[in-house]
Structure 1
Amino acid sequence: MTAPEINRDTFKLNSGFLIPAVALGTWKSSPEDCYNAVKHALNVGYRHIDTARIYLNEASVGKAINDFLKESDDVKREDIFVTTKLCPCDYHDPETAILGSLERLQLDYVDLYLMHHSLAEVSGEGLKPVDEDGFRKHIPFEKLSYVDAYKVVQTFVNKGYTRSVGVCNFNVPKVQRLLEVSEIPPAVVQCEIHPYLPQQDLVDFCKEHGIVVEAFSPLGSTGAPLLNEPILVSVAEKYQVSPACIAISWAIARGTVPLPKSTNDSRIEANLKTIKLSDQDVELINNISKTTTKRYLNSKWRIDVYYSDAEFNPVK
């Protein structure tokens, strides 16, 4: 079967803005590699870049964007969707954190600002504070909760720092809690999602509440282990494309936004060339997780931060 036309959709956020359906992820990209990757991605048509304070490459992302805009005759700042994230060690002072991110990015605003995790971490001990056993050092919920931090983050929309706000690594109960207490609801929830970990309950909940889901590690994280999955290989052969194309296209078919990360020029280009899958092939890929379920990214916490249904008590 010949591959269908390239599909470059956008999704509409509950904030009213459009988000491009494929982003370049920059996690674990060194500053130099990140600059080159972002610059190349923009040159070949990407209009969505995802970074974070904790990635230590915001300055590279910003320089690449600004250099690209200086060289471009027809692309403006408002044409590029930029996401960065609030580090958990900065939950005590989100405003200073976002102003620092904007300075490093050399931007007046970002398009999306995400809370990176649902636990606040201690401040003053680096971006990833850990105890003597190597566990992340967090602040008790009753002293500083994600609800506290989000109430500050949502004010950044009216202050012009960001156009939309959201969260990363949150489960359904925690998103539900934010919907109950927020004035500006999350526009996006970003989590690890791929055929081995489809997180259907989260995707369905977010769709019901008008929230767009972003899928980080859509190829299964470092080394792209999903690319040898027999069903993906079979579907890729049918459409005469790569297994990576199938995994990314499957993410879009579900109404989610994949964030494939690469610093390789040819793979960056290939990851943008998604296709429209048949409903039967989407369902076939959906069924992969019924026999193989795997999460590739887990931080070392003493309690379940992301995915348990337990809610903290009290809630402010």
Structure 2
Amino acid sequence: MNKKNIFLVILIFVICAVILWMYLKSTADTTQSISNQNNNTSTLKSNEDRATSLSENTADMKLNTNLPVWAKKLLQLDQSAANREEKIHDLIQLLEQNQHDENAIEEILTQLTSLNPLEATEQILPFLTHQNPKIQSLAIGALNNAMLLTDREHELKKSLPENDLIRQKISHALEQRFQDPNLDPKVKQVLISSLPHTASVQTQHNLVQELLQQNSISPNEAQFLSQYLLNGQGNNTTLEQLAHKNPKMIEDIIANLNNQIVDQPAIVEVLNNDQKKQLHNFILQHPPSSKDESYGYKNDIWRFSLNQLQQ
């Protein structure tokens, strides 16, 4: 090979090497650029996330800052490790401090209700006649729960005389409220559901006679009638009158009877044999409709109730 050819080969090799170097450099620069962009995007996203988190925390802090004092105390009390008695004590104080704030009263009564507040009876009773029907209803709910047995009474398996005196006072107050001719209709409905546990036999009898004159009843009224029958206060005449009511009214009452028996099978033990037989026949004569979408379920609890009443 002459010198000219050798020089040409070397020149071609150099040119190829330069082209390869330029290509590799270009690729590296592109990769670095993409990497830088990704890093910038990641950094930007991280900054945005931190900003969002900071914004949310600031909003939460601002929200808590804007809460009224009573609301902050309720939140603290709800999250505290205080026992039931301590919480009731604090809620009573809070209730006394916010007598003119309806929002506060509603929330405090709601929290008291969950604690079965027998100890707060005196502080709750005045709200039965509050101008706001919603507060009246919440007071009724709290007082109903206050009548439940305390943990101590559950341990002893009996009620304590001093607590029974308070329960009698609650029953009397609720019955007096029910007899008020100016009682708000919605509040009356709330009271009706508690009457089997609070009202006198005469008051319950009068309400039954009133309901038997109607062609339709509310869910609370149906619950009251079924509880009245399961308490053994109804008689065959009551059932005969109910049997002539419209099918929807009968269906509602039997549904309540069945549900209560399923939930508390032992409830029928207060009935004597004649009462069981009368109630059994009444339920037997009104089976659920096979056209009902919930027929399977309703038929099961219908049969369960019949079996319980035959035992």
Query: Structure 2 length as normaliser, TM-score?
Result: 0.28
Is the strand fraction higher in 1 or 2?
Answer: 1
Is the helix fraction higher in 1 or 2?
Answer: 2
Larger Rg: 2
Which of structures 1 and 2 has the larger relative contact order (alpha carbons within 8 angstroms, sep 6+)?
A: 1
